[in-house]
Structure 1
Amino acid sequence: MSSSDQQPAPPRLAMPELLIGIGLLACAGAVAWQTLAIPVSPLYSKVGPTVFPYITMTGMIVLSMLLILAAVRGGWQPQEEKETPTDWKAMGIVVAGLVANLVLIQPLGFTAASVIMFVLVCYGFGSKHTLRDALTGLILALAAYFGFARALGVNIGAGFIENQLNTVIDAIIATLRG
């Protein structure tokens, strides 16, 4: 039998990719569990406080199923990427950024904790532009904070920065109302 008569080997299960898919599915389960704990007032008609968490959960489930399917089919990484060694230092810096956000959000507030996380994650991905990353993180964090706090009325962790800006905004609004 010649080599052209042989069938290609079936794809092997890509275990790291499978674990990522299963981990994302577990996160979707945590989102569902926490969303079910949100009290919903009967005053809400169709759109209440659980709509966006359920949309997020649904997206996470779809993505996790696609990741698991890709893992069963051999994974989504090309062979060259699979052979690249893991940069543990970079991964440690990214994880440090995520942990810093969790630890600092209560004492410093959402914005400061998010900027620190953003800078560390950018650095972990190879950025050497700390000032630019901090300014970008600040803009994104303030937009997220005020989007939740002012537009939706949800406090996601006001700290010194948020309190100072809220004071300025309230003074401007009071002056305009005159």
Structure 2
Amino acid sequence: MTRINHNQVLAVILGLFSIVYLWMAFQIPTFPIPRPVDSDAFPKALGSAILLLSIFLFFEKAGEKTIEVEDKGHVGFSFTSPRMQVVVTSVGVLAYAFLIEPLGFVLASSLLMFLLAIYYGYRAWLTNLATTLGIVLSLYFVMTRAVGVHLPPGILPF
């Protein structure tokens, strides 16, 4: 008898979630005016991606990959522990949610990406800044100009 591993349990849960999510995405009404990207496109793409990734996760071999963790010899509180990384990232996303309206999409997103990259250990400041601004500005202009989505401009003039 084959035993199911943790990845497979998680894959089944995510797969079921994605099926329900896709069902709800297909209930979104389309606009009568034709658009290149309708309001249901992103939820359908996201649900499909989650379903596909959950299938990949189900068939992944569990237990063969190990991650080496360096023991720094101290016990107690650490900003680099996995639990603390979840807390810091969650606080960052929460701060982002509160700052996106007053600062705007570009500044708030750039600040979040730049600071999280530094927190996770990427120390090339100039490359980090250029990459962050390139991604955020590209996303901003595609969403506002091509797709027609309103994103908060904040204190920037565009």
TM-score (norm 1): 0.62
Q: Is the 8 A contact 1:101 1:114 kept in 2?
A: yes
> Which residue matches 1:13?
5
Indicate conservation of the 8 Å contact 2:11/2:57, yes or no: yes
Out of 90, 98, 102, the position equivalent to 2:97 is 102
- What is the rounded CA distance, in whole Å, between the counterparts of 1:109 and 1:58 in structure 2? 30
Note closer, same or farther for the CA distance 1:24–1:138 as it changes in structure 2 (3 Å cut).
farther
The AA in structure 2 aligned to 1:135 is A
| More displaced 10-residue stretch of structure 1: 92-101 or 149-158 | 92-101
Paired residue for 1:74? 62
Find out whether 1:87 has 2:87 as its counterpart: no
> 2:111 aligned to 113, 116, 130, which one?
116
Shift of residue 27, structure 1, vs aligned partner? 6.5
Structure holding more helix per residue: 1
2:51 aligned with 1:56, yes or no? no
Give the deviation of 1:108 after TM superposition. 1.5
Deviation of 1:61 (Å): 1.1
Q: Does residue 22 of structure 1 match 2:24?
A: no
Find the structure with the greater CA-based Rg.
1
Kindly tell me: are residues 68 and 101 of structure 1, through their superposed partners in 2, closer, same or farther at Cα, counting changes over 3 Å? farther
Query: What code does the residue aligned with 2:47 have?
Result: M
Question: Contact conserved, 1:110 with 1:156, CA < 8 A, in 2?
Answer: yes
TM-score when normalising by structure 2: 0.69
After superposition, the Cα gap between the structure-2 partners of 1:147 and 1:45, relative to the gap in structure 1 and judged at 3 Å, is closer
Q: Which runs of 5 or more residues in structure 1 are unaligned?
A: 1-8, 167-178
Q: What SS does the corresponding residue of 1:155 show, helix, strand or coil?
A: coil
The answer on whether the counterparts of 1:115 and 1:138 sit within 8 Å (CA) in structure 2 is: yes
**Aligned equivalents of 1:89 and 1:111: distance in 2?**
27
Deviation at 1:144, TM superposition (A): 0.5
Partner Cα distance (1:148, 1:74) in 2:
39
CA shift, 1:58, in A, is 0.8
- My pick for the range that moved more, 100-109 or 26-35, is 26-35
Cα deviation, residue 113, structure 1 = 1.3
Shift, 1:62, TM fit = 1.0
Shift of the 74–31 alpha-carbon distance from structure 1 to 2, 3 Å rule, reads same
Q: Distance in 2 between matches of 1:55 and 1:110?
A: 22
What residue ranges of structure 2 are gaps of 5+ in the alignment?
A: 71-80
Name the Cα RMSD after superposition.
3.5
How far has the Cα of 1:91 moved from its partner? Answer: 3.4
Count of residues in Structure 1 that have an aligned counterpart in Structure 2: 148
